[in-house]
Amino acid sequence: MDGGTQFRFSPASDNAVEAEGSFAQLYRQAHGKAGLSRLPVAALLDWLTGRGGDASGIDPLITNGQPVTSDNLDRVKGNVFLAFLFHDLRQKLDTHMQAAKRAGTGPFAPLPPGLTQAQKLNRLRAQSCVSLNQVLDVWAAELGNRPATGCPFARMARFAKGFFKGSALYARADHDMVSISKTGSNTALHMCFSLVEGALHLGLDLPANEWRAALWRSRKELKTLAAGSLGMIVTFLHASHLEPEGESAVNPTDGGAFRLEQGADGVRLRLDSRPIKPFSTGHDQLYTGCPAFHVSGMIEMYLDWVLDIAAYHGLHRPEWLVPAVAARNAYQQGLRG
């Protein structure tokens, strides 16, 4: 997008039909019980692009005359700024992922022999995070070198860099624009890998195309979770054991937070709603959801990448059914076809 482009952001819908007692309904209701309201991020992103990425004066639009603590204000502002910037990041990530797939590098590189399926999954999750972080480093450096004049993303990046540096909230957490981007993006990848792990844990036994379709149908579970507040997301991840032990990508997750459901369109994985608990710091009123949630197709892009990686290394079926080498050869044949 160049500096003269005008674009509009699709609002994250709260009006989707929710089945009674569904994960989506219970998750949304838990936010209400915690006293949290979701900020209309799309309207703020439209306002920012109309100003060429200049965020000066955004505070009154966020608070809307309501008392909001400085930490709450900084938390949602940081997410809004990242959601704006991630519209520039998305294509660069996709280009990198496709290049790694073609070249057989990063998480598509051969794994050492003798690894169990669980060890492969943990290693690939870690390699994927490393690869993603490398893209984020290059993207942030390149963005900082662009002239702010005529590029709304470069203008916003300069504003956001100063904001994160001057924020007491992010200073306490030792986060800047790049590190907070890595933290959120790595968590998104962890969630995508948890679908693969959940399918293995549940013994899902399907041919590669049907396996992929089943996990692709399950993407709504990830998007629903990503729409929540940071505190609610973290609380659920810990309670359901979906975050790798010690928050290190090389460690396994429980794999048991999902259940299989047969629908009219086929099988899918559903999140167990029992770990949902209302959570708030006690001072927050507003939340945005994960920045990637507000970028069309970004969470789907992460999932698509993870499914490619898992299929390439034979993690779409129990290992004794699909040897890794045969799976990799079938995957490469599919690319050539």
* Domain contains 326: yes
* Domain contains 76: yes
Residue 135 Cα distances to 93, 140, 141, 153, angstroms? 7, 9, 10, 16
The span from the CA of 279 to the CA of 105, in Å, is: 40
pLDDT tens for each residue of the chain, 337 residues long: 333 333 444 445 444 556 777 899 999 999 999 999 999 999 999 999 999 999 999 999 999 999 999 999 999 999 999 999 999 999 999 999 999 999 999 999 999 999 999 899 999 999 999 999 999 999 999 999 999 988 999 999 999 999 999 999 999 999 999 999 999 999 899 889 999 999 998 889 999 999 999 999 999 999 999 999 989 998 998 888 876 555 554 445 655 689 999 989 999 999 999 999 999 888 899 999 999 999 999 999 999 999 999 999 999 987 754 444 444 444 445 444 4
Q: How confident is the model at residue 318, as a pLDDT?
A: 72
Count structural domains, the chain: 1
Q: Which residues pair with 258 in a beta bridge?
A: 271
Q: How confident is the model at residue 18, as a pLDDT?
A: 63
CB 243 within 8 A of CB 253: yes
* Domain contains 14: no
223: domain range?
Answer: 23-336
* Domain contains 10: no
* Domain contains 102: yes
Residue 103 Cα distances to 89, 94, 288, 324, 333, angstroms? 21, 14, 37, 18, 14
In 3-state terms, what secondary structure has residue 262? Answer: strand
Question: Does this model's pTM top 0.85?
Answer: yes
- Which of 243, 246, 238, 248 minimizes the C-alpha distance to 279? 238
The span from the CA of 170 to the CA of 287, in Å, is: 16
In 3-state terms, what secondary structure has residue 269? Answer: strand
In 3-state terms, what secondary structure has residue 307? Answer: helix
* Domain contains 284: yes
* Domain contains 2: no
In 3-state terms, what secondary structure has residue 103? Answer: helix
CB 184 within 8 A of CB 36: no
* Domain contains 309: yes
CB 211 within 8 A of CB 204: yes
